[in-house]
Structure 1
Amino acid sequence: MNLTSKQRAYLKGLAQTIEPVFSIGKASITPEVTDSVAECFNTKELIKGTVQKNCLDDVNEVARTVADRTRSTLVQVIGRKIVLYKPFKDEPEIKLPK
Protein backbone atom coordinates (compact mmCIF):
# COMPACT_ATOMS: atom_id res chain seq x y z
CA MET A 1 0.00 0.00 0.00
CA ASN A 2 1.40 3.36 -0.98
CA LEU A 3 0.67 6.30 1.28
CA THR A 4 0.52 9.92 0.21
CA SER A 5 2.52 12.47 2.18
CA LYS A 6 -0.68 13.71 3.87
CA GLN A 7 -1.65 10.18 4.91
CA ARG A 8 1.86 9.47 6.18
CA ALA A 9 1.88 12.73 8.17
CA TYR A 10 -1.53 11.87 9.65
CA LEU A 11 -0.32 8.43 10.75
CA LYS A 12 2.88 9.91 12.21
CA GLY A 13 0.74 12.24 14.31
CA LEU A 14 -1.33 9.33 15.60
CA ALA A 15 1.81 7.31 16.35
CA GLN A 16 3.20 9.95 18.70
CA THR A 17 0.78 8.96 21.44
CA ILE A 18 1.08 5.17 21.24
CA GLU A 19 3.55 3.02 23.15
CA PRO A 20 5.81 0.41 21.49
CA VAL A 21 4.22 -3.05 21.45
CA PHE A 22 7.15 -5.10 20.14
CA SER A 23 10.90 -5.12 20.46
CA ILE A 24 13.58 -6.56 18.21
CA GLY A 25 16.72 -7.59 20.04
CA LYS A 26 19.99 -9.41 19.57
CA ALA A 27 18.51 -12.27 17.53
CA SER A 28 17.19 -9.70 15.02
CA ILE A 29 14.16 -10.79 12.97
CA THR A 30 13.13 -14.31 13.93
CA PRO A 31 9.93 -16.07 12.87
CA GLU A 32 8.66 -15.56 16.42
CA VAL A 33 9.13 -11.79 16.16
CA THR A 34 7.38 -11.72 12.81
CA ASP A 35 4.49 -13.77 14.20
CA SER A 36 4.09 -11.53 17.25
CA VAL A 37 4.05 -8.39 15.10
CA ALA A 38 1.48 -10.01 12.78
CA GLU A 39 -0.67 -10.85 15.82
CA CYS A 40 -0.56 -7.21 16.93
CA PHE A 41 -2.27 -6.32 13.66
CA ASN A 42 -5.27 -8.45 14.69
CA THR A 43 -6.26 -5.80 17.23
CA LYS A 44 -4.55 -2.60 16.02
CA GLU A 45 -4.00 -0.95 12.66
CA LEU A 46 -1.09 1.25 13.73
CA ILE A 47 1.72 -0.17 15.85
CA LYS A 48 5.07 1.03 17.09
CA GLY A 49 8.11 -1.06 17.93
CA THR A 50 11.71 -0.62 18.94
CA VAL A 51 15.00 -2.04 17.72
CA GLN A 52 17.28 -2.63 20.71
CA LYS A 53 20.85 -1.38 20.73
CA ASN A 54 22.19 -4.94 20.83
CA CYS A 55 20.65 -5.64 17.38
CA LEU A 56 23.55 -5.23 14.99
CA ASP A 57 21.42 -4.96 11.83
CA ASP A 58 20.57 -1.65 10.19
CA VAL A 59 17.34 -0.25 11.65
CA ASN A 60 15.97 0.77 8.24
CA GLU A 61 16.61 -2.69 6.80
CA VAL A 62 14.99 -4.34 9.82
CA ALA A 63 11.94 -2.08 9.44
CA ARG A 64 11.55 -2.86 5.73
CA THR A 65 11.92 -6.59 6.37
CA VAL A 66 9.31 -6.62 9.15
CA ALA A 67 6.92 -4.61 6.96
CA ASP A 68 7.39 -7.03 4.05
CA ARG A 69 6.94 -10.15 6.16
CA THR A 70 3.79 -8.82 7.87
CA ARG A 71 2.41 -7.31 4.64
CA SER A 72 2.15 -3.92 6.32
CA THR A 73 3.25 -0.44 5.33
CA LEU A 74 6.28 1.22 6.87
CA VAL A 75 5.17 4.66 8.02
CA GLN A 76 8.26 5.93 9.79
CA VAL A 77 11.64 5.05 11.20
CA ILE A 78 12.85 7.56 13.75
CA GLY A 79 15.93 6.69 15.72
CA ARG A 80 15.41 3.09 16.78
CA LYS A 81 11.60 3.26 16.66
CA ILE A 82 9.50 1.75 13.86
CA VAL A 83 5.91 2.64 12.99
CA LEU A 84 3.88 0.21 10.87
CA TYR A 85 0.36 0.48 9.45
CA LYS A 86 -1.95 -2.24 8.20
CA PRO A 87 -5.66 -1.44 7.77
CA PHE A 88 -8.29 -3.96 8.82
CA LYS A 89 -9.71 -5.80 5.82
CA ASP A 90 -13.40 -5.40 6.66
CA GLU A 91 -13.77 -1.94 8.15
CA PRO A 92 -10.67 0.20 8.76
CA GLU A 93 -10.81 2.08 12.07
CA ILE A 94 -8.38 4.78 10.99
CA LYS A 95 -9.86 6.99 8.32
CA LEU A 96 -6.99 8.29 6.19
CA PRO A 97 -7.21 11.70 4.53
CA LYS A 98 -7.65 11.59 0.75
Structure 2
Amino acid sequence: MLTGKQKRYLRSEAHHLKPIFQVGKTGVNDNMTGQIGEALEKRELLKVSILQNSPEDKNTAAEKLAEGTGAEIVQIIGKNIILYKESEQNKQIQLP
Protein backbone atom coordinates (compact mmCIF):
# COMPACT_ATOMS: atom_id res chain seq x y z
CA MET A 1 0.00 0.00 0.00
CA LEU A 2 1.33 3.39 -0.98
CA THR A 3 1.44 6.33 1.42
CA GLY A 4 0.22 9.80 0.47
CA LYS A 5 3.80 11.04 0.12
CA GLN A 6 4.68 8.17 -2.22
CA LYS A 7 1.57 8.78 -4.33
CA ARG A 8 2.43 12.47 -4.67
CA TYR A 9 5.95 11.55 -5.77
CA LEU A 10 4.66 9.01 -8.33
CA ARG A 11 2.11 11.50 -9.69
CA SER A 12 4.89 14.01 -10.30
CA GLU A 13 6.98 11.31 -12.02
CA ALA A 14 4.01 10.26 -14.22
CA HIS A 15 3.05 13.78 -15.22
CA HIS A 16 5.13 13.81 -18.41
CA LEU A 17 4.27 10.22 -19.43
CA LYS A 18 1.98 9.51 -22.37
CA PRO A 19 -0.57 6.67 -22.14
CA ILE A 20 0.88 3.54 -23.77
CA PHE A 21 -2.27 1.39 -23.45
CA GLN A 22 -5.89 2.13 -24.29
CA VAL A 23 -9.00 0.37 -23.01
CA GLY A 24 -11.43 0.32 -25.92
CA LYS A 25 -14.67 -1.37 -26.89
CA THR A 26 -13.49 -4.83 -25.80
CA GLY A 27 -12.87 -3.60 -22.24
CA VAL A 28 -10.20 -5.09 -19.98
CA ASN A 29 -9.28 -8.63 -21.05
CA ASP A 30 -6.63 -11.20 -20.09
CA ASN A 31 -4.37 -10.36 -23.03
CA MET A 32 -4.32 -6.66 -22.14
CA THR A 33 -3.69 -7.44 -18.47
CA GLY A 34 -0.73 -9.63 -19.41
CA GLN A 35 0.80 -6.98 -21.64
CA ILE A 36 0.35 -4.27 -19.02
CA GLY A 37 1.95 -6.57 -16.43
CA GLU A 38 5.00 -7.01 -18.67
CA ALA A 39 5.23 -3.27 -19.30
CA LEU A 40 5.02 -2.58 -15.55
CA GLU A 41 7.93 -4.97 -14.97
CA LYS A 42 10.03 -2.94 -17.41
CA ARG A 43 8.84 0.59 -16.53
CA GLU A 44 7.30 0.37 -13.04
CA LEU A 45 5.04 3.38 -13.75
CA LEU A 46 2.66 3.86 -16.67
CA LYS A 47 -0.53 5.51 -17.85
CA VAL A 48 -3.53 3.77 -19.37
CA SER A 49 -6.25 5.75 -21.14
CA ILE A 50 -9.93 4.80 -21.25
CA LEU A 51 -11.59 5.47 -24.61
CA GLN A 52 -15.16 6.77 -24.93
CA ASN A 53 -16.41 3.52 -26.48
CA SER A 54 -15.23 1.41 -23.52
CA PRO A 55 -18.06 -0.56 -21.88
CA GLU A 56 -16.45 -0.15 -18.44
CA ASP A 57 -16.15 3.05 -16.47
CA LYS A 58 -12.72 4.24 -15.39
CA ASN A 59 -12.99 3.01 -11.78
CA THR A 60 -14.02 -0.52 -12.78
CA ALA A 61 -11.29 -0.71 -15.42
CA ALA A 62 -8.68 0.55 -12.93
CA GLU A 63 -9.70 -2.05 -10.34
CA LYS A 64 -9.56 -4.88 -12.90
CA LEU A 65 -6.13 -3.79 -14.16
CA ALA A 66 -4.71 -3.39 -10.66
CA GLU A 67 -6.07 -6.76 -9.56
CA GLY A 68 -4.92 -8.56 -12.71
CA THR A 69 -1.39 -7.14 -12.66
CA GLY A 70 -0.82 -6.83 -8.91
CA ALA A 71 -0.21 -3.09 -9.34
CA GLU A 72 -1.24 -0.12 -7.22
CA ILE A 73 -3.55 2.59 -8.54
CA VAL A 74 -1.69 5.86 -8.06
CA GLN A 75 -4.35 8.14 -9.53
CA ILE A 76 -7.38 8.21 -11.79
CA ILE A 77 -7.55 11.58 -13.47
CA GLY A 78 -9.97 12.29 -16.29
CA LYS A 79 -9.87 9.26 -18.57
CA ASN A 80 -6.33 8.27 -17.53
CA ILE A 81 -5.23 5.72 -14.95
CA ILE A 82 -1.73 5.79 -13.44
CA LEU A 83 -0.46 2.39 -12.27
CA TYR A 84 2.67 1.52 -10.29
CA LYS A 85 4.26 -1.82 -9.54
CA GLU A 86 7.74 -2.28 -8.13
CA SER A 87 9.91 -4.17 -10.60
CA GLU A 88 11.81 -7.24 -9.49
CA GLN A 89 14.67 -6.99 -12.00
CA ASN A 90 14.56 -3.41 -13.36
CA LYS A 91 14.19 -1.30 -10.20
CA GLN A 92 14.41 2.34 -11.29
CA ILE A 93 12.15 4.36 -9.01
CA GLN A 94 13.21 5.02 -5.42
CA LEU A 95 10.12 5.81 -3.35
CA PRO A 96 10.46 8.38 -0.55
Normalising TM by the smaller chain, what interval? over 0.9
**Aligned residue in 2 for 1:54:** 53
**Alpha-carbon separation, structure 2, partners of 1:87 and 1:47:** 12
**Aligned residue in 2 for 1:83:** 82
Q: TM-score, normalised by structure 2?
A: 0.94
**Aligned residue in 1 for 2:63:** 64
Preserved CA contact (<8 Å) 2:45 2:85:
yes
* Cα displacement string for residues 72-97 of structure 1 (whole angstroms, at most 9, x for unaligned residues): 10100001100000011246311111
Q: Residue type matched to 1:94 in 2?
A: I
Structure 1: where are the runs of 5+ without partners? none
**Aligned residue in 2 for 1:45:** 44
Preserved CA contact (<8 Å) 2:41 2:90:
no
Identity across matched positions, percent: 34
Structure 2: where are the runs of 5+ without partners? none
**Alpha-carbon separation, structure 2, partners of 1:22 and 1:36:** 9
Which has more helix, going by share of residues? Answer: 2
Preserved CA contact (<8 Å) 2:71 2:83:
yes
Question: RMSD of the TM alignment (CA)?
Answer: 1.1
**Aligned residue in 2 for 1:23:** 22
